[in-house]
Structure 1
Amino acid sequence: MITFGRQVCGDLAQSSTREWLVTDGLGGYAMGTVAGLRTRRYHGLLAVAAPGGSSRMLGLAALDPVVRAGDRLFRLATDEWAGGTVAPVGHVHLAEFRLEDGVPCWRWDLGDVVLQREIAMAHGRSAVGVVFRVLRAPRPVTLELTPLCTWRDAHGERHGDGEPWVTPVAEGFEFDGAYRVTGPNWQPGGEWYRGVHAREEAARGLNPDEDLWAAGWFTASLSPGDTACVTAAAAPFGGVLPAATDLVAAARDRARSLGRVFGSTDDVGRQLAVAADQFVIDTPTGPSAVAGYPWFGEWSRDLMTSFEGLLLTTNRHDDARRVLLRAGATVSEGMLANTADTGTLEYNTADAALWFLHAIDRYSAFTGDLDTVATLADSMHSVLEHHQRGTRYGIAADPADGLLTQGKPGFALTWMDARIGGDPVTERQGKAVEINALWIEGLAATAALFDRIGRRNDWDAAASRAATSFARRFPRPDGYGLYDVVDGPGGDDPSVRPNQLLAVAFPHVPAADPRIVEACRGALLTSLGPRSLAPGSPGYRGRHQGGSADRDRAYHQGTVWPWLIGPFVDAAQRVGADVGGVLDGLELHLGEWGLGSVSETADGDAPHAATGCPFQAWSVAELLRARAAVHGSPRPVGKIAMPA
């Protein structure tokens, strides 16, 4: 349980920067802040995803509550308007916020009246339930709920120009034919709330203002113990919408089941099991994962990097198998399709296919399932053969040394892929250290797996040659770690970056040098994970803030990336280095920003304020995996099926 009292809830600076998230297992979500203030254009109670989360539409933005107790009136919403006015200020009445079993819960203390709200989504359907319950009152109180509505791309905003299409239905209404909202004693109304302000969008240099349609109001007279329930669901509606109380109960049951499947015996582990589940989604072609909320869809690089932590560490082995089979079907010219956020297939990464090979190796190690390896063998061979001979974007094994080179002017193909106006910030063209670590590991692991399934191959010889060249080419002469890139357009790049940790982490790469780990510990490691570039380096930026261009310049130039804690722990354990306390800051981070989860990034400079997506898949996955490595992998209690 994550809990805050009045001192956090009543302080807008604190409560508006702590965000909660519930998801529908399809890529859609409900999301907001502890304060109830919508600080992002993405915040709302019903964000509806296209298959795979490639795009989302925001529907029901808020449900503003008003309590009438005798002659007293309490407006419990917290809204900000263009110009900076905050009104009403319902957060001042918040006595408690808690996140328990994945369900956010608020409690307003109005003196002799105490009101509670819980929010949950259906799993496998785009539907959200909101349950208000009177916990204490000397006499019945009246609760009024005003739905604030829109229907627009989650990345944009809508401005009122005429009345939207609102159709009355039993117990509620439909908005623009896209979603239905039902609740008690619906009374139609209709007016634009103009100039609703999202302060985080302003800070990111984006348009922060939009208009929302107040569609009317629901009302209920409630005595202690009574509930008022509102459900919103996207089309197709399928008859009566699910009861909000049932959605809350089902969400709690699912969270507890996930903890049992994971086999976790501590609160952090149980919370991370729920966090991991938020990213795993069903698509028309099988399971996948959203890279991050609220603005990312599925990305093959992120999916494969997250694979072990999200699916294997949490004992979701059948999902893992289906993810691999689905990914294998997209291999083209040895590259893995990156579905990204466009809804189309793009082949534009130098590492996703190599992470795919690593995922297959880890799946086999966890499950012993060689049948699936045999099914994927042609795809695995295609990856290595095309990389060895050459494929898109100059990706090819150098005949001179067997190392993998990649890159083409104007493209950023490694995970450090930020671009400004089409120009890469960290191009890294040449032989990148982590790409070659993945290449050597992929060659060696595939050779071993092919031997086990009886498939003839000569990949072990290629792995041995590349490893010998790696040991000769990548160590810096000064002993201070590894080059980040060799044979680049400007020669060898000695920048101190965390990519070298992957070389130490992988067992087949000849880089088991404690000095590499200690160099990264001293220059890069923070309490939230390693920086992407050492302070004092040319181009270092310690703040990942500001407009889009400012943020992209800093993205991989010093910004902290929590997912890199996994490679750090692996590398440290391989060389026998101390890992005591390295996970403490990330575990505490679960209650600091994206509640119950781990952020995408953080400032490189102290105090390392969180940035980027508040809820990021590979950050959660690698913390899960690192905890398993440090504390021992949990095991499920008995034979327990994944919750539906």
Structure 2
Amino acid sequence: MGTVSGLRTRRYHGLLIVAGDTPASRRLGLAALDPVVTLPSGAVVRLGVHEWSDGAVAPAGHRLLAGFTLIDGVPRWRWRLGDVVVEREIAAVPGRPAIAIVHRLVAGGPVRLTLEALCTWRDVHGERTAEGPPPAVAATADGCVVEGAYRISGPGFTPGGEWFRGVRHRAEDERGLNPAEDLWYAGSFHADLGRPGEIAEVSAWAGGLDDPPPAAGRSVTAARLRNREVVAAAAPADETQATLALAADAFVVRTGTGPDVVAGYPWFGSWSRDTMIAYEGLFLSTNRAAEGRELLRAYAGTLSEGMLANTADTGAVEYNTVDGTLWFLHAIGRHVAVAGDDDLAAELLPLLRDVVTHHLSGTRYGIRADPADGLLRAGAPGAALTWMDARVDGVPVTARAGKPVEVNALWINGLATVMELSARTGIPPGPAERACPQAREGFGRRYPAPGGLLHDVVGGAEGADPVLRPNQLLAWSLPHAPARPDRAVLDRLGAVLLTPLGPRSLAPGERGYSGRHRGTPAERDTAYHTGTVWPWLTGPWVTALRRVGASGEDLLADAEAHLSEHGLGSISETADGDPPHRATGCPFQAWSVAEHLRARRL
């Protein structure tokens, strides 16, 4: 992960980032490989770029950049130095923690190319400085091994051995975090490129240090071919769908237990709610149902007391969402409907009926269907159980205790899904058949608000909450939605919530509205669900529009420009609620990509 300019603006930026035992554990190894070109005249030109703690940017190789492009998902930089043109390409090696880096002389020459390896070995969420010991570097025949953890291989290696002190990450400064670290100069690689077309190849990898990956040039070619195959398998209808299909591939990973989903890069791991919201877009819209089936079966094994495990980024298993399990029911329903997988339906249906039974009788955090109206209630002191789960100093910002509208839309959708699967498999219906009509009737009676809108929460301590949030979209957009959308109501809601990147999480003018998702961690968490824009909700919005005969194409078209302005080729997690709606959060977010891809397939 890095930037077009080459400047490392985040602590997460680097060339070799090694996955750990969980989707959230990653370590940064090779931070940078700075090119230095010696021209035929003898002039030495540095193409790297770094910012330092005193604000200086040096070297400033970005000023010599002549172009940048993504070709089949593989990035290519081009620098022009008079009549000399040099290109760099970087590709990951699928299936192992390895990176391939190729430099090519395109025009001019001959030149002497030096590649300076700046290294560390640390958790991606932290820093390493010269206050501690330097990374241990052991020379090899073609490079070096750093900390016994990863190896760098290339031509003409010369050992180094000094700290580059005070590297600054400006994006971390903006986030209210420590922006500085020190990098260890492990050494340099050297190659003479005599004529156009000649290349210098460097590889870096972890795990199996005596088992190098294929040569860097072959790895770059293989990466392009694989990316083309990923896109072709998804059968995209246009270039934007092709871009989103390739973006979706980045979130699907394999762990020791099978396929899983990384919720967002650079800092999220695997979260069941995110995975299930993104499921249809990541797996069904890209023709990866076989992988999806494996994932759903694995997740089903985590059910406990009718709740789906929510694996935290710490690696701990927690049961702390009211909606993650309901999204799981939705994902299974969509999988069976799209893939025609009745065998999976028959296999999982007993577990799904058990989910319904536990929700009717009661489970953790006060989650229980109210016998009076059949609606699902949830809440416990200090708990934030819905997707709006941000906390500041342990206190939920939007606790939404009671009966949240999207939770009950999901509850009714889940009950109807279980009934549908029973009908498909011939398995006699269970408690869902009795619970669904009551919940539908209760929803129709409890949620309507003035003007055709829906209350955000009912049954809370302060009664019905008519605050303008986008959560009601799910009541109009799910396959078994409990309410029918109205075009005039959608337009009225859109007038206050919609932005080019999706709906705000709270309407401007509402108490507590925050228009900027910036500042310290506490300031960002406070704004997270109080006005910040969430692109994933564009999917439900477009689905609701389609149900009233509108296309929603204008909403989807706005995202096309975003594909080239933040996380290249992907869609960000969030954006500021206030104009110009600058993207925030993870630059690459699974459910944002998945819901845009799904909506384009409607």
Q: What TM-score does the superposition give when structure 2 sets the normalisation length?
A: 0.98
- Which residue of the partner structure matches residue 344 of structure 1? 316
Other structure's SS at 1:318 match: helix
Aligned AA (1:572): L
Find the partner of 2:23 among 44, 49, 53: 53
Aligned AA (2:95): G
Distance 1:340 1:573 in 2: 35
Aligned AA (1:85): A
Aligned AA (1:328): A
Deviates more, 1:457-466 or 1:126-135: 457-466
Partners of 1:482 and 1:516 within 8 A in 2: no
Q: Report how far residue 400 of structure 1 moved.
A: 0.9
Partners of 2:349 and 2:421 within 8 A in 1: no
Distance 1:577 1:403 in 2: 30
Find the partner of 1:529 among 499, 502, 508: 502
- Which residue of the partner structure matches residue 165 of structure 2? 194
Distance 2:212 2:265 in 1: 29
- 1:185-204 deviations in whole A, cap 9, x for unaligned? 00111100000000000000
Distance 2:344 2:595 in 1: 24
Q: Report how far residue 175 of structure 1 moved.
A: 0.4
Distance 1:75 1:545 in 2: 34
Other structure's SS at 2:94 match: coil
Q: CA RMSD in A?
A: 1.1
- 1:241-281 deviations in whole A, cap 9, x for unaligned? 33111221111001111121111142211111110000000
Find the partner of 2:228 among 226, 235, 256: 256
Q: Report how far residue 227 of structure 1 moved.
A: 0.5
Distance 2:551 2:587 in 1: 29
Distance 2:469 2:489 in 1: 11
Q: Report how far residue 111 of structure 1 moved.
A: 0.9
Aligned AA (1:68): T
Partners of 2:231 and 2:242 within 8 A in 1: yes
Distance 1:55 1:264 in 2: 32
- 1:173-194 deviations in whole A, cap 9, x for unaligned? 0000110000000011110000
- Which residue of the partner structure matches residue 178 of structure 2? 207
Q: Report how far residue 575 of structure 1 moved.
A: 2.5
Other structure's SS at 1:151 match: strand
- Which residue of the partner structure matches residue 20 of structure 1? none
Distance 1:543 1:334 in 2: 38
**Aligned pairs (5 A) from 1:301-450:** 301-450=273-422
Partners of 2:121 and 2:135 within 8 A in 1: no
- Which residue of the partner structure matches residue 82 of structure 2? 111
Q: Report how far residue 578 of structure 1 moved.
A: 4.8
Find the partner of 1:496 among 445, 459, 468: 468
Find the partner of 1:40 among 10, 27, 46: 10
Q: Report how far residue 492 of structure 1 moved.
A: 1.3
Distance 2:489 2:354 in 1: 33
- Which residue of the partner structure matches residue 140 of structure 1? 110
Aligned residues: 597
Find the partner of 1:295 among 261, 267, 277: 267
Distance 1:564 1:375 in 2: 31
Find the partner of 2:511 among 501, 522, 538: 538
Distance 1:509 1:615 in 2: 29
Partners of 1:52 and 1:281 within 8 A in 2: no
Find the partner of 1:554 among 521, 527, 539: 527
Other structure's SS at 2:318 match: coil
Distance 1:58 1:91 in 2: 23
Deviates more, 1:411-420 or 1:69-78: 69-78
Other structure's SS at 1:53 match: coil
Partners of 1:60 and 1:150 within 8 A in 2: yes
Partners of 2:361 and 2:368 within 8 A in 1: yes
Q: Report how far residue 456 of structure 1 moved.
A: 1.6
Change (3 A) 1:162 1:285: closer
Q: Report how far residue 117 of structure 1 moved.
A: 0.2
Q: What TM-score does the superposition give when structure 1 sets the normalisation length?
A: 0.91
Other structure's SS at 1:258 match: helix
Deviates more, 1:281-290 or 1:371-380: 371-380
2:45 corresponds to 1:78: no
Bigger relative contact order, structure 1 or 2 (CA pairs below 8 A, ≥6 apart): 1
- 1:445-466 deviations in whole A, cap 9, x for unaligned? 1111112212222412211110
2:456 corresponds to 1:484: yes
Other structure's SS at 1:117 match: strand
- Which residue of the partner structure matches residue 590 of structure 1? 563
Aligned AA (1:347): Y
Partners of 1:481 and 1:519 within 8 A in 2: no
- Which residue of the partner structure matches residue 635 of structure 1? none
Partners of 1:501 and 1:516 within 8 A in 2: no
- Which residue of the partner structure matches residue 241 of structure 2? 269
Q: Report how far residue 379 of structure 1 moved.
A: 1.8
Aligned AA (2:282): L
- 1:72-124 deviations in whole A, cap 9, x for unaligned? 11110110000111101000000000012110100001111000000000111
- 1:549-597 deviations in whole A, cap 9, x for unaligned? 1111110001000000010011111233452411111111000110000
- Which residue of the partner structure matches residue 18 of structure 1? none
2:236 corresponds to 1:236: no
Find the partner of 2:448 among 444, 463, 475: 475
- Which residue of the partner structure matches residue 15 of structure 1? none
- Which residue of the partner structure matches residue 64 of structure 1? 34
- Which residue of the partner structure matches residue 255 of structure 2? 283
- Which residue of the partner structure matches residue 600 of structure 1? 573
Structure 2: 5+ residue stretches without partners = none
- Which residue of the partner structure matches residue 639 of structure 1? none
Change (3 A) 1:509 1:239: closer
Structure 1: 5+ residue stretches without partners = 1-30, 630-644
Partners of 1:129 and 1:230 within 8 A in 2: yes
Partners of 1:480 and 1:519 within 8 A in 2: no
Partners of 2:201 and 2:217 within 8 A in 1: yes
2:128 corresponds to 1:129: no
